[in-house]
Amino acid sequence: MNFVGAHVLSVSQFDRDAIEQVFTVADKMEPYAHRDRVTRVLEGAILGNMFFEPSTRTRVSFGCAFNLLGGEVRETTEIKTSSLAKGESFYDTARVLSGYSDVIVMRHQTEGSVQEFATASRVPVLNGGDGSNEHPSQALLDLYTIRKEMAAQGKDIDNLRIALIGDLRYGRAVHSLCRLLCLYRKVHFTLVSPPELSLPDSYVDEMRAGGHTVIESQDLAPGISHADIVYVTRTQEERFPSQEEAEKYKGLFRLNQSIYTQFCEPNTVIMHPLPRDSRGNANELDNDLNENPNLAIFRQTDNGVLVRMALFALILDVVHLVDKYARDVSWYTAKRF
Amino acid sequence: MNFVGAHVLSVSQFDRDAIEQVFTVADKMEPYAHRDRVTRVLEGAILGNMFFEPSTRTRVSFGCAFNLLGGEVRETTEIKTSSLAKGESFYDTARVLSGYSDVIVMRHQTEGSVQEFATASRVPVLNGGDGSNEHPSQALLDLYTIRKEMAAQGKDIDNLRIALIGDLRYGRAVHSLCRLLCLYRKVHFTLVSPPELSLPDSYVDEMRAGGHTVIESQDLAPGISHADIVYVTRTQEERFPSQEEAEKYKGLFRLNQSIYTQFCEPNTVIMHPLPRDSRGNANELDNDLNENPNLAIFRQTDNGVLVRMALFALILDVVHLVDKYARDVSWYTAKRF
Amino acid sequence: MNFVGAHVLSVSQFDRDAIEQVFTVADKMEPYAHRDRVTRVLEGAILGNMFFEPSTRTRVSFGCAFNLLGGEVRETTEIKTSSLAKGESFYDTARVLSGYSDVIVMRHQTEGSVQEFATASRVPVLNGGDGSNEHPSQALLDLYTIRKEMAAQGKDIDNLRIALIGDLRYGRAVHSLCRLLCLYRKVHFTLVSPPELSLPDSYVDEMRAGGHTVIESQDLAPGISHADIVYVTRTQEERFPSQEEAEKYKGLFRLNQSIYTQFCEPNTVIMHPLPRDSRGNANELDNDLNENPNLAIFRQTDNGVLVRMALFALILDVVHLVDKYARDVSWYTAKRF
């Protein structure tokens, strides 16, 4: 895959080589994300960070990644303050906004909207999430985290045993991750969800067709008992037809330290696309796991910055220049990574 | 006109010389806006981009223009998150905010608000739009576009034939453009609108007094048939007393490729202040014109960045320094202009 | 107090030495805030400016202060666009966001929220206001202003005579300022408020225990007649149980030029934490004072930038480097300070 000037809209664009390319660059970004070094390679470049649906984490992560490469960020955070509210088409919005910046990240609640936008854009577009459809940078950071966590245990993504827990129907992070994992060999999937929120058949079929093992279950304990990764999700209430409908499924599967100790193998890594819902009626991942060193959820979000820096560097073709425009950091930096 | 340290509040501040000054600098900004070169001339300067009324295009365009000169942008996007909502006067807001930045762009729904704000501001203020009153940078970018498009055809603004279509009553872009065009010689205006949305008499009187020709019409076809520029506008529904009232006028005049081919002279340039309303009941400028090379609407928004860069450079007195702080761009840039 | 890497959550962290340290650095920041000089000492650093409650002044002031040191700002302005709205705990939000930036400023309407956030944050956190609890940078800028204004009159904070007027119950600025003033010697406080909005007893007790004089009054004229500083506040309507309740207290104490002339000593300095409510039914500080040279309210907000720059420079340990990364400003700067 040639990244230079490319849109990143879907995980289906990626093969193993392309993924490896992103991850190799992401590794190189560590000194910058960890504030040992500063690079100014994109000084003067502008990111259009266009979030037409609420988001803090993804929006700030993309913006921060661009800043860490030395670039500037112009941001939009709400649809009602945008021309889209005055009847403007995605085509027009894209033609206009792509005159303002060097690259665009876009999130919008409508499935397919970002693809439509990209078609008309004059600069590369990264999909920051389009409804329940795609969120490719999330899938890449999840996979990057799996690779890192497994490497620390001397393991690989091939032959991975992963348990996916919760709302597997509306969780776009899970969908995209499954698609990426299918690029590897003999992954063992355990899918734990209520029947109504099970992973859509198309994904299960694809996984089986690729030679992977898929076990579906409605029972948490056996599901997590032979896994390298336990990937827990929040009930995506904003995607449900009604709040009442969503409430029925909250809190059905809850992982906490005592269940972990009782059923998981030692060093089973816990992941979650975040935000986790810590309200009493949901609480899919208990706070008593916070001191568990296998809880990788904040390493995931840290990795997100690395992966997004890598995507920007590849698309804008500055990978080879990042170190050239670098210097040491001269301010206090917390030892936080 | 001495731009250094000046407010830009109204098109009535400009004479032909001042306009020429802005356009000459705007021409110089092209390599920077087109990402061939980067300049850091305003590195360390801060723009206060204060939008107390919804806007994506104008807000991002101003912010981007300032970034392209190397400066930083601090932004406010909504009145309800501002101190104005706690009963603060424009005077106080202006005194305070002008302590934070080197220059301010302000948009507010109240006519005259930006002028009031500027009186109390300690730094230069650019009017980013005050209700249905003024939006001078839009008028300047429109005129700059007309100049460029006409020059490409070997023509001039003097003796221009322009048709203005649609909501000429509430469209501040049209009002300001008319005022600027009056500075030139023998412009031929054709005004096409429903009687209730006709251009206010004061403008028509001024145009006629200046020796320009004005023809008023309610019929699209003859209106556009002898024009160098057809300038189409959206029904400014947010300025109407009610939504129902606005709906009555939507979609009355629609330009599409077939009408263009039938009635317009070859190379008639199509402009629109954007956003165009592409919803079925409005659709004043059809998408089937998108491949028409005379559709200049996205060149207009691109030109907006040039004109706003020019205004900042003139007001902050760095025109002569822009090239001194410049270097070539080292990242991938789409060929988008 | 060792500022390097420290959180700034409460004025109770400060002793006289720590305050003196901040103020000494704030004095050094003047050439940068006044745009005589530019420093790039924090070029590449990122501030997470997290405002989960409406604010223009404080938000822009912090962002501007960070920009003036050369750093970048990533911003969040509303709780409903944040993961907190999806049930995320402060702990998670803090773990995540502190992976994105070098330092965080946080405002949230819930008392104690910023402290809770800081506990989980991996980078230093500055309290930008947590409900009616604390707003330490406001108290520091108020005290810094008092010091400067008194110094200009050859006076000191010791033995200061200050009258506090208005809503002393909900005004967190007043609470924090009182606490800081208690660190000095023999301050003479006059508290003017309706009984229902009087300063909480805990503060009055602390003041008296520290050897300060406290006089409580419900009468404006005698209250302001022997004061070096008259500190007027707005009725904090957003903290009241209901709007009706708040309305009862608006406009009870109003200072204008004629009352000032009649009752205040010459050169009595007028302060206000801003925004002042200029609506007719409130108007606690009349606009006819705007030309009074003793009206220090805009010098206060200007000083806020200096104090916030000082806090950032101390926490990130770059005080000794600020001048090293400096150069003269090359653009037009209004003489506004």
Residues of chain B contacting residue C39, judged by C-beta atoms under 8 Å apart: 44
What percentage of chain C has pLDDT greater than the value 90? 82
Name the minimum distance, in Å, from the CA of C242 to any CA of chain B: 15
* Average pLDDT score over residue span A85-102: 90
| Residue bearing tokens 């204060």 | B50
Across the interface, do B298 and A123 touch by the CB < 8 Å criterion?
A: no
Interface check for C337 against chain B (CB to CB < 8 A): the answer is yes
Instruction: Tell whether B334 is within 8 A of chain A (Cβ).
Output: yes
Any domain includes A35:
yes
Answer whether B22 touches A (CB < 8 Å): no
A218 has pLDDT over 80: yes
C88, C96, C321: residue with CB nearest A278 = C88
**Cβ–Cβ below 8 Å for C334 and B123:** yes
Q: In sequence order, what are the residues at sequence separation of 6 or more whose Cβ sits closer than 8 angstroms to the Cβ of residue B230?
A: B162, B163, B165, B224, B255, B264, B268, B269, B270, B271
Residue B104 and residue B90 share a domain: yes
Residues of chain B with Cβ-Cβ distance to C232 below 8 Å are none
Same structural domain, C150 and C292: yes
Taking CB atoms and an 8 Å cutoff, what residues of chain B touch A40?
A: none
Task: Mark whether B307 and B284 lie in a shared domain.
Answer: no
Q: Given an 8 Å threshold on Cβ–Cβ distance, is A56 in contact with C83?
A: yes
The CATH number assigned to the domain holding B50 equals: 3.40.50.1370
Query: What percent of chain B has pLDDT above 70?
Result: 98
Q: What is the pLDDT of residue C282?
A: 81
ipTM of the complex: 0.94
In a domain, B150, yes or no: yes
Q: Where are the beta strands (DSSP E) in chain C?
A: 37-39, 46-51, 72-76, 103-108, 125-130, 161-165, 188-192, 213-217, 229-232, 269-271, 326-328
C57 in contact with B at a CB cutoff of 8 Å? yes
Q: Is residue C147 within a helix (H) or strand (E), and if so which, with residue range?
A: helix C136-152
The answer to whether residue B230 scores a pLDDT higher than 60 is: yes
A330/C315 touch (CB, cutoff 8 Å), yes or no: no
- C81 in B contact zone (CB under 8 Å): no
- Check residue B162 and give its pLDDT: 98
* Alpha-carbon distance values, C147 to B111, C79, C144, C151, C182 (Å): 41, 36, 5, 6, 14
Separation CA A148–CA C328 (nearest Å): 47
Minimal Cβ distance to B122: which of C77, C329, C334: C334
Mean pLDDT score, A47-59: 92
In this complex, the residue of A64, A238, A276 whose CB is nearest that of residue C100 is A64
- Does A81 have pLDDT greater than 60? no
Whether residue C84 is predicted with pLDDT greater than 70 in this model: the reply is no
User: Which pLDDT belongs to residue A187?
Assistant: 98
Chain C partners within 8 Å of B44 (Cβ): 38-40, 68, 70, 329
Average the pLDDT over C165-175 and give the result.
91
User: From the list A45, A88, A95, which residue is nearest B278 (CB)?
Assistant: A88
Cβ atoms of B132 and B236 within 8 Å: the answer is: yes
Closest CA to C51 of C41, C42, C43, C60: C60
Residues B105-157 have pLDDT tens digits of 999 989 999 999 999 999 999 999 998 788 999 999 999 999 999 999 999 99
Q: Could you tell me if residue C58 is inside a domain?
A: yes
**Do C155 and C233 have their domain in common?**
yes
Higher pLDDT, B250 or B48: B48
Contact check, Cβ <8 Å, C88/A305: no
Listed ranges A53-62, B10-19, B75-84, C132-141; the one with the highest mean pLDDT: B10-19
Q: In Å, how far are A33, A252, B105, B205, C43 from A297, measured between CA atoms?
A: 17, 20, 41, 68, 30
Residue from the list C5, C46, C317 with its beta carbon closest to the beta carbon of A64: C46
Residue contact A54–C321, C-beta within 8 A: no
Place of tokens 């603004």: B157
Residue B53 placed within a domain: yes
Residue A80 confidence (pLDDT) above 80: no
Question: Strand ranges (DSSP E) for C148-258?
Answer: 161-165, 188-192, 213-217, 229-232
In a domain, B1, yes or no: no
Residue type, C235: T
Per-residue pLDDT, C249: 82
> How do residues B149-191 score in pLDDT, each as one tens digit?
999 999 999 999 999 999 999 888 899 999 999 999 999 999 9
Query: Does some domain include residue B195?
Result: yes
The alpha carbons of chain B give a radius of gyration, in whole angstroms, of: 20
B103, pLDDT greater than 80: yes
Task: Assess whether B182 and B101 both reside in one domain.
Answer: no
**Chain B residues touching A97 at Cβ < 8 A:** 56, 60
Q: Which domain holds residue A218?
A: 136-298
pLDDT score at C239 = 77
Give the pLDDT score at C85.
65
> Could you write out the three-class secondary structure of A237-302?
HHHCCCHHHHHCCCCCCCECHHHHHHHCCCCCEEECCCCCCCCCCCCCECHHHCCCCCECHHHHHH
Q: Is the pLDDT at C158 greater than 60, yes or no?
A: yes
Q: Return d(Cα C81, Cα C110) in angstroms, integer.
A: 17
pLDDT of residue B79: 63
Dump the DSSP string for B263-328.
HSPTTPEEE--S----STTT-SB-GGGTT-TTB-HHHHHHHHHHHHHHHHHHHTT-GGGTTTTEEE
What is the nearest CA distance from C35 to chain A, expressed in angstroms? 21
Q: What pLDDT does A79 receive?
A: 62
d(CA B129, nearest CA chain A) in Å = 15
Checking if the pLDDT of A31 tops 90, the result is yes
Total Cβ atoms within 10 A of residue B228: 20
Q: Has residue A289 got a pLDDT over 90?
A: yes
| Confidence check: pLDDT of A102 > 60 | yes
The verdict on A128 and A148 lying in the same domain is no
Pick A60's closest partner by Cβ from C43, C74, C92.
Answer: C74
- Residues C37-64 have a mean pLDDT of 95
Mean of the per-residue pLDDT values of chain B: 94
Rounded percentage of chain C residues whose pLDDT exceeds 70: 98
- Three-state SS at C62: helix
Instruction: Let me know if residue A149 belongs to a domain.
Output: yes
Assess whether the previous peptide bond of A275 is cis (omega < 30° from 0).
yes
Looking at residue C240, its pLDDT comes to 82
Domains contained in chain B, number: 2
Q: Are residues A57 and A127 both part of a single domain?
A: yes
Same structural domain for residues A221 and A198? yes
Distance from CA of B295 to the nearest CA of A (A): 12
Closest Cα in chain B, distance from residue A122 (Å): 5
Mean pLDDT of C83-91: 79
Which partners does chain B have (≥3 C-beta pairs < 8 Å)? A, C
pLDDT above 90: residue B78: no
Beta strands A326-328 and A72-76: pairing type?
unpaired
Nearest to C305 among B83, B99, B123 (CB): B99
Q: Is the pLDDT of residue B35 over 80?
A: yes
Give yes or no for B81 touching A (CB within 8 A): no
Residues 111-150, chain A, touching B (beta carbon < 8 A) = 122-124
The verdict on residue B109 lying in a domain is: yes
Mean pLDDT of C261-278: 95
Please tell me the least confidently modeled range out of A255-269, B234-248, B317-331, C166-180: B234-248
| pLDDT confidence band for A290 (50 / 70 / 90) | very high
**In this complex, do C77 and A77 lie within 8 Å of one another by their Cβ atoms?**
yes
Beta carbons of A316 and B336 less than 8 Å apart: no
Please name the residues between 287 and 306 in chain C that touch chain B, using a CB distance below 8 Å: 287, 290, 297-298, 301-302, 305
Residue A337 reports pLDDT greater than 80:
no
Q: What is the pTM of this model?
A: 0.95
Contact B97 C336 (CB under 8 A): no
From C64, C297, C336, residue closest to B46, measured CB to CB: C64
Domain check: are B282 and B310 in the same one?
Answer: no
Chain A residues in contact with C74 by the CB 8 A cut-off are 60, 63-64, 67, 73
Is the same domain home to A160 and A89? no
| pLDDT (mean) for C298-322 | 98
* Closest CA–CA distance from residue B309 to any residue of chain A (Å): 12
**Touching partners of A (3+ C-beta pairs < 8 Å):** B, C
Among B76, C99, C102, which residue's Cα sits nearest to residue A57?
Answer: C99
Q: Are residues B98 and B73 in the same domain?
A: yes
Q: Residue C313: its chain A contacts at CB < 8 A? A: none
Span B87-95, mean pLDDT?
91
Chain A contact for C95, CB < 8 A? Answer: yes
Per-residue model confidence (pLDDT) at position A274? 92
The shortest CB-CB distance from A60 to any of C5, C42, C76 is to C76
Interface check for A69 against chain B (CB to CB < 8 A): the answer is no
For residue C113, pLDDT beyond 70: yes
- Indicate yes or no: CB of A89 within 8 angstroms of CB of B282: no
Q: Say yes or no: A209 and A270 in one domain.
A: yes
